[in-house]
Chain A
Amino acid sequence: MSFGTLNAIALAFYILASVCYDAFVFLATPAAPITGKSKKADVSSDTDSENAHSLRWTGRVLLLLGVLFQFAATGVWCVTMHRSPFASEYGTLSVLAWIIAVTFALIDLRRNLPAVGAIALPVACVILFWAMLHVHGPVADTTALKSQIVSLHVLAILASYGLFALAFGCAALYLLQNRLLKQRAVNSLFHSMPPLASLDAIAYCSVAYALPLLTLGLGLGVADIFSKDSGATPSRWLLDAHTLASFGTWGLYVTYLGTRIGLGWRGIRPQYLLLVGLIVAIALYAIPSATHSFNTFSAVPAPPSHT
């Protein structure tokens, strides 16, 4: 099976999983509090609630299938092209989508937060779709990309961005839930949202894992610059807008973690910082870069559509 077909199947699974998670968020009824003397929850087993829970499990299965098919698609592409997935925009974005999907799947299994999936999975779908549009784009052919340091550098940074995207989703949900609570807007959306404390904790954990990864990625990048034998000066890499913006992003997340751990900040202000952080990270793609462009290294013809 070609990687194109595998990717299409993976995308279809992601879309269906997104629909399930979104439907669950709107259909699920809140668990009733314990009202009697016994320590048993007064949970009504109405049909709507049962349907909602079967939707959720269907979503989980579809998500796992999507993750498997996308992994297979990326593997097939690497084998076919004899390149790291980071040698093309398609591969890079595809891995990013995959990281987001895997991270959410782990969080959902551990923390039981379908509302986060209702945001994270559509984001993964969009990224994968965007990647598939660039499947025939240029593939970089340079010795630099064959280096394990560079591959690790890109992988670490992508993983951190996947986690930042998750933190962004949690922060967005936090602000939405905060708004609903302030406005006393009691509706099905309100009840389907995770507690503020859970959203805050997941966002914090995501950044706590992502920041070391970003630091590692940036560190490996800097190490690679200084280890290059080429005539290119390190300052050309370091003063590149892309690199500078990456350090700016890193600074924002360091500020977040610093205020959170050092000053004990909670509440809505840190959430705004998380929103700004990912917006800056995404803006990196819009900044023209002389050093981080696939076109710069393009030498390999675009892969055939059905290889």
Chain B
Amino acid sequence: MHLVLLGLSHHNTPIELRERFGYNAHTLGNALTAAKSLPGIGEVVILSTCNRMEMYLTTDVPSTVHEVELFPMLTAHLAAEHNIAPASFAPHLYRKTDQAAAQHLMRVAASLDSLVLGEAQILGQVRGSLRDARTHETGGGILGKLFEQALFTGKRVQTETGLGQGGFSIGHAAVTLARQIFDDFARARVLILGAGKMSEETAQHLVRNGVQFIVVANRTYDRAIEMAGRLGGSAIHYDAFPAELERADIVISATAAPHPILNRKMLQPVLRKRRGRPLFLIDIALPRDIDADVAELDDVFLYNIDHLQHYVQQAATDRAQETARAEIIVREEADRFMAWMQTRGATPVIAQLRDHLQQIATQRLAILRSRLRNLPDRDWQVLETQLRAMMDEVALPPTLLLKGASASEGATPYSLTDAVDALFGLSAGDSSSIAGQTSDEFRSGHLGKLDDVPALKPLSSDAACVLEGRQTETKQRSDREPQLPLSTVTGGVIPEPEAAK
């Protein structure tokens, strides 16, 4: 199973193209289902934010044919889904697999790949994308683990580095820019279009820096009232916002509108009435809410998501040390995830093997309990511990071997998991039935009495030596426990070497 990532982000894709690949609540479900139905695809999670569209998948398509089969198929799928020619976006599309894909998501969650370094919103977006995939039953197992590990990585970076402390966010950038235009925030009037999380966080930054007049306009008026209440401002009906533009100094636009809500034609009469008063427009929506040509108007300063990149780059240079620490955390967590992913092929067999051995131990103890009723509880505890420890020791070499073989894919010409399965009879039937059959045979006396067990399973001389060593070891352990007679521990369970001979 391979992990695959296809994506477009603010790093290499212009906003004009990126906004065509955005998903909303209505389209995401279909997109997830459609991607999962593609041949060779197992799980799908789509991370769609204003800065990126990334599709994480698991596939059983061999890595040797990813370039010639898988990626062209996925590119064609995206092109068809978004009704856009593959040639127009393929050069911007980045493709990563396995370790690189996992590490990329960890970097995203740690906000190292964000437009605004150290921002915390991305964690919520990563969590939301996993939730959506689980809702539509397209992601859970491997991708579930990957996204959870990514969320853990993001939190680690926030708590263990200074990246998120006093960090740069869109609100931070908005305040810094607004300070270059307005000298007194107490007199500035802010208009917020769209009562979303991003716009609220941006507005909160402005409020903390002295803004007192805030007006919120939203299609759902109740949400506008709620947000205005939290910000200490007032709410207006969405249709009334053009009139409010005449009085506003700063406009934060973050609606979910599919088309621009503010254009040159709409703004020109407003600007005439404003008589040259500067208007600062912050467009943090994707697709964009404000037409780009608005920026050409006198006394209008338009900044969209991409324009904030300058600030991020500047902040990034100031935080090189914190970034380096965050990168180390990301690598650690990505390695941890890959180790998990590589061993997960052997995990079911290992679990089955352990269950199988534990059941044997449990049933053997049950037989002994029926025979040795007078044994004190304390002795039973020691007996149980020793038996389970023995089972663990038996399971340890094959477990390590299975994990190692699973991690080094294709290193052996045969499947060790199949071998263990066949040797222990794990999938031939219920493991308990084998153990159960043995115990039943004991009970019925078909296999002889308990004391005859060594005779039923004659040991080779090598095995006897090993057992002798174990017996000595067990004896030494028992010597450290003086209350327990040695005969109780060994009697009838582990045969004397002489008896075996």
Contacts and interface: CB of A to CB of B under 8 A. Distances in A.
Interface of A: 30, 32-37, 39, 42, 177-178, 181-182, 184, 186, 190-191, 193-198, 201, 263-270
Contacts of B299: 178, 266-268
B205 A33 contact: yes
Contacts, number: 82
Given A33-B209, A34-B208, A265-B276, A195 B298 contact: no
Given A177-B180, A267-B277, 10 more contacts: A34-B175, A35-B205, A184-B310, A186-B310, A186-B311, A195-B180, A197-B181, A197-B182, A264-B275, A266-B278
Nearest to B182: A197
Interface in B171-202: 172, 175-177, 179-184
A33 B176 contact: yes
B179 A181 contact: no
Interface in B110-167: 166-167
Contact of A184 (B166, B176, B274, B307): B307
A191 B208 CA distance: 20
Contacts of B177: 181
Contacts of A42: 166
B278 A267 contact: yes
B250 to A, nearest CB: 12
A198 B183 contact: yes
Nearest to A40: B208
B164 to A, nearest CB: 10
Contacts of A270: 276
B88 interface: no
A35 B179 contact: no
Nearest to A46: B318
Nearest to B206: A33
Nearest to A39: B208
Contacts of B184: 197
A52 B311 CA distance: 21
B179 A266 contact: no
B241 interface: no
Contacts of A190: 180
B340 interface: no
A193 B179 CA distance: 10
A181 B276 contact: no
Contacts of B172: 32-33, 35
A186 B184 CA distance: 21
B301 A266 contact: no
A197 B183 contact: yes
Contacts of A264: 275
Given A195-B180, A197-B183, A184 B276 contact: no
A229 B267 CA distance: 62
A206 to B, nearest CB: 16
Interface string B276-313: 11100000000000000001001101010001001100
A197 B188 CA distance: 11
Given A177-B180, A195-B182, A196-B180, A267 B298 contact: yes
A177 B183 CA distance: 14
Given A30-B179, A186-B311, A186-B314, A269 B166 contact: no
Q: Give the most central of A33, A177, A182, A196: most B CB within 10 Å.
A: A33
Given A36-B166, A186-B311, A266-B278, A196 B181 contact: yes
Contacts of A267: 275-278, 298-299
A270 B278 CA distance: 13
29 contacts: A33-B176, A33-B179, A33-B209, A34-B205, A36-B208, A39-B208, A181-B177, A181-B180, A186-B311, A186-B314, A190-B180, A191-B180, A193-B180, A195-B179, A195-B181, A195-B182, A196-B181, A196-B278, A197-B184, A197-B278, A266-B274, A266-B275, A266-B277, A266-B278, A267-B275, A268-B276, A268-B298, A269-B276, A270-B276
Contacts of B175: 33-34
Interface string B4-45: 000000000000000000000000000000000000000000
A35 B278 contact: no
A37 B166 CA distance: 11
Contacts of A34: 175, 205, 208-209
A191 B179 CA distance: 9
B301 A181 contact: yes
Contacts of A201: 183
Contacts of A197: 181-184, 278
Nearest to A36: B166
B167 A35 contact: yes
A53 B171 CA distance: 27
Nearest to B271: A267
Contacts of B166: 32, 35-36, 42
Contacts of A191: 180
List of 6 A-B pairs having minimum Cβ-Cβ separation, nearest first: A267-B276, A33-B175, A186-B310, A267-B299, A266-B276, A195-B183
A191 B310 CA distance: 13
Nearest to A201: B183
A271 to B, nearest CB: 10
Given A32-B166, A197-B278, A266-B278, A181 B208 contact: no
Contacts of B275: 263-267
Nearest to B299: A267
Contacts of A184: 303, 307, 310
A194 B208 CA distance: 21
A34 B185 CA distance: 13
Q: Give the most central of B166, B276, B314: most A CB within 10 Å.
A: B276
Contacts of B298: 267-269
A36 to B, nearest CB: 7
A149 to B, nearest CB: 40
Contacts of B295: 182
A78 to B, nearest CB: 40
A52 to B, nearest CB: 15
A184 B181 CA distance: 13
Q: Give the most central of A35, A39, A191, A198: most B CB within 10 Å.
A: A35
B104 to A, nearest CB: 27
A194 to B, nearest CB: 8
B303 A30 contact: no
Contacts of B301: 181-182
A270 B184 CA distance: 21
B420 to A, nearest CB: 56
A281 to B, nearest CB: 24
A193 B181 CA distance: 10
A16 to B, nearest CB: 29
Q: Give the most central of A197, A266, A268: most B CB within 10 Å.
A: A197
A35 B180 contact: no
Q: Give the most central of B172, B177, B182, B275: most A CB within 10 Å.
A: B275
B284 to A, nearest CB: 15
Contacts of A178: 299
B251 to A, nearest CB: 15
A31 to B, nearest CB: 8
A35 B276 contact: no
A183 to B, nearest CB: 10
A30 B166 CA distance: 14
A119 B19 CA distance: 44
Contacts of A195: 179-183
Nearest to A35: B166
